[in-house]
Chains A and B, each alone.
Chain A
Amino acid sequence: MTSLPFDPLLLSVAAPLSLAVAIVLGLPKRWVMKLAYAGFAVPALVALWAWWSFGAAAKEAHGYAFLSSYSTGLDGFGIGLKLGLNGISLPLFVLAGTVGLAAGLYAIQSNAERMKTYLALLLVMQAGLMGMFASVDVFFFYLFHEVALIPTFIMVGIWGGRDRSYAAMTMTIYLTLGAMLSLLGLIAIYAKSGASSFDLMVLRDTLTSSPLGEVTQRHIFGLLLFGFGILVSLWPFHSWAPLGYGAAPSSAAMLHAGVLKKFGLYGLVQIALPILPLGALRWSHDLAAVAGIGNVVVIGMVTMAQRDLKQMVGYSSVMHMGYAFLGIAAGSVLGVGGVVMLMVGHGLSVALLFLLSTSIHHRTHTFDMDQMGGLAQRAPVLAALFLVATFASIGLPGFANFWGELPIFFALWNFSHWITVVALTGTVISAVYGLRAAARVFFGPASEAFTRVCAAQPPADIGWSEKLPALVLAAAMVFVGIWPRSLSTGIDRALTNPPTAAAAGR
């Protein structure tokens, strides 16, 4: 399939992981700081390479390219490390590489305490993220997700802000519950399909030729929906998210909110929808109502009421996940394709917002938006980047998010008129809180508190060390915004190409 002498997908997992192991084994600090660039750059380069060569690469069943498999000794149980990308996983793989690079660059310049441990955990997280989207085997898909998830808890617990111990504990228990429920759903698929294999390609082949009964599908999809729903902060199981993101150190929040959280949506799109279509249909109206009213409107209102910048970003990410669930509920190729695009767009914009919030905090020494104001005069570049991120986040054309939200709304209109109307109010809500936040932080007269901070320590604009990771994200956002076809062609093909075609061809 490729002329490369190594498996690039495996490399994107192994490179950060082996660096993390080297750090644990006692690599000296000056080496760590240098090699860390490579540790984050290699996955990003592999992602770019995959993006570039995916169109021309030879496709196997279900549109997978770059396939490779490795035995781990459990072939008897139908488990093995199998890596590959299709049109749905490719955009997320690219997202993971990009956000990972930005989060890594931002972490390297951050001067965190216990820097070596911090970088090691981030690298483990990065390895998990790349592996998660590259896995074709459901067991490893889940395993890599947890590889990325565990460091989050530790990072919140050690480097977190307010209430870090409580936040870490809440997140751990909540997300473990979600992970356990989704695991149960995956086990159910494994056991009920009769395929005796965790290989997604085998599962899809088996279940297209002999689908599960409607009741079984309904139950399994329900399990997956609740399990994944908790992980993606589906209302009313969202309360861990603002708490956790509020406490998490910036790079961890970037990777978690930007990439890791997409695990649940990705699982629904890649695994649940194709093999449990009847179950999805049965749940779609409940899901649409909950996501539309709960995530979009209720959480949207809550977001508007936030005074804390980081909490606001946290809540806004919960709200935007509502659109993604609406797209899944709509179920058509247009809607689900929109979900994948939205995942990419939202991942990039929320990561950028978390990054910039921390940069703002360095200058204002507070997250309270009432105690800011007028920062644009002192840090114009920071203000410009923040505006870009806000515009993207509220779904203005020209950014990646737009190409996610627009198809979702079109698909939703065909699904249910009234939910579309409800959801459309969300765009107004997010415009209100997004622009108001930008106004309160950057424009208008400086608050008393901020004037005092300025007098004590005049804030400078962001330098290259902070600008570079921000520009990586902004550039990716704009690129996808003006050339969405670079991703959507593959998504379309993966979604419209019915799995039966591949099965029939065999």
Chain B
Amino acid sequence: MDFAALRELASGNPWPAIWPELSLGCLALLLLVMETVLPKAAHRRIPVVSILGQLAILGLLLANFDTAYRETFNGLLMQSPSGQAMRVFFLVSSIFVSILARASLPGRGVPRVEFHHIVLVVAAALMLLVQSRNFIMLFVSLETVTVGLYILVSYYRSNPRTLEAGLKYLVMGALSSALLLFGIVLLYGVAGSAGLAGRTGDAMQFVGLRGFLGANPHNFMAAAGIVLVLSGVAFKIGAFPFQIWVPDVYQGAPTPVTALLAVASKAAGFIVLLVLVTEVFPSYDWLVGPVITVMAAATILFGNLAALKQSNVKRLIGLSGVSHAGFILLAVASVGQGPMAVGAVYFYLFAYLIGSFAVFGVMTIMAGPDDTAQELGDYCGLARESPFLGGVLACGLGSLAGIPPLAGFAAKLFVFVAAFKAGHFGLLTVAIAGVVISIYYYFGWIRAAYFSDESAISPEVAQRVRAGGGTALRVALALLAAASVVLGFYQGPLGRLVSGQ
């Protein structure tokens, strides 16, 4: 073997550029080591180590927020301000998931440390996923995420609904990976075929493929590849017609994992979509534009209409998440018209993170012995039992519903402005109708928590509710509620980031 050549290749690998991912991986390994080394009594401290470690990485990341654009690993990865923002996004998500898991896992007879280990690995892979500018890199990190999620989704293995969810996610995940891979292969193949202008041997690289597509803007094989790639991504974000797995999987998965799926995995899908649409497929706008437009309208309508009649809150939040995917797609459909749409996608994702985790936090505390059976009726009297949790739920749901002055409103406003500038008037009408429909089911939840006279909260849950799920979760929830209010008024650094300053 020619070590000199390898060494030369490796010399171009700036490992410090991916220090957050590396340190997350090391932290994950550390957790496993601690589990084997430490006595059993000390095991319950391990999740705390995980959370503190992540907080430390988050602090370092924010302190060294690097806004430069830099290609690393010979173009496999691209460092950018938005990539940095998404690193923060995934790290914040994984911190919240860890906190939720710490409150949710005990007493369910499942191993705990492995859960935190996998969450860390998934977070690191998500970070790499959104920065990758090469299909191999993209696929490998995507599979790392997905395999981790296969395990997490079916974590409560004694619950039949969880197992069903795990199986469905496995089958659907495999299908979507297959579609994505097939699309990549088609694109790679057609880009390398002799006789076509601008052919390239390096079509796995986004830049190379973009050059080829620009030279052949109406190639059928490339178009088929693009549609397949988009379908694979649409599975991840739960966009119509690839949303069928969402309600069952969201219901069956443990609540912290539902949160991870709903927030982090979906966000990664959107960033990948955004990168593909703006950096790889612009010359196929004639195809991508209509596909995304139709998908956005159908997703908004389907998500909202299907959520109307749900009484299980996990299914409800899943389907409402589908409608949120539609709203973000609306922004993606408008990216041709200036920077506001891109900013809107990022801002929407952050607002969605804040609102969702506030709601998932309350759901974690309210969960009874069967994590999958949480009905709207179970929330009756929550605000009386605990004004704090009631307030957090109201802030979270209000933000998701897009009610001013909460963060979700600003997010929806940016999306609407971007869509208006792009001239998507029909889509805007659909979106407005969607917002009004969504008020109905979000309001139903609030009504159960606030306006009901009798309490449906069992004594056992009431105890958890009064305790607020422990100090860490309490602090996290208070922060989320405050953030969802403040971000509606004062967008500060995040606003400057998304408005491109």
User: Which A residues have a C-beta under 8 Å from some C-beta of B?
Assistant: 24, 72-77, 81, 117, 139, 142-147, 150, 154, 157-158, 164-165, 168-169, 172-173, 176-177, 180-181, 183-184, 187-188, 190-191
Contacts and interface: CB of A to CB of B under 8 A. Distances in A.
A76 B499 contact: yes
Nearest to B443: A172
Nearest to B439: A176
Given A76-B501, A77-B499, A158-B450, A183 B488 contact: no
Interface residues of B, number: 37
Given A72-B492, A150-B403, A158-B450, 16 more contacts: A72-B489, A72-B490, A72-B491, A72-B495, A75-B499, A77-B343, A77-B417, A139-B413, A143-B409, A150-B404, A173-B440, A173-B443, A184-B420, A184-B428, A187-B413, A191-B417
Contacts of A184: 416, 420, 428, 432
**Among the interface residues B391, B404, B489, which one has the most CB atoms of the partner chain A within 10 A?**
B404
Contacts of A154: 450
Interface in B456-501: 488-496, 499-501
A291 to B, nearest CB: 25
B188 to A, nearest CB: 38
Contacts of A176: 403, 435-436, 439
B340 A73 contact: no
Nearest to A24: B391
Query: How would you classify the secondary structure of chain B's contact residues: helix, strand, loop or mixed?
Result: helix
Interface of B: 340, 343, 387, 391, 398, 403-405, 409, 413-414, 416-417, 420-421, 428, 432, 435-436, 439-440, 443, 447, 450-451, 488-496, 499-501
A154 B449 CA distance: 12
Given A72-B495, A188-B420, A147 B404 contact: yes
A146 B409 contact: yes
Contact of B404 (A77, A146, A157, A158): A146
Contacts, number: 98
Contacts of A190: 417, 420
A191 B416 CA distance: 10
Contacts of A188: 420
B306 to A, nearest CB: 18
Contacts of B500: 76
A177 B436 contact: yes
Contacts of A158: 450-451
A73 B417 contact: no
B262 to A, nearest CB: 24
Contacts of B398: 150
Contact of A143 (B404, B417, B495, B499): B404
Given A143-B404, A158-B450, A73 B439 contact: no
Contact of A183 (B387, B413, B491): B413
A176 to B, nearest CB: 5
B170 to A, nearest CB: 40
B493 A165 contact: no
B495 A173 contact: no
A168 to B, nearest CB: 7
Nearest to B436: A177
Contacts of B451: 157-158, 164-165, 168
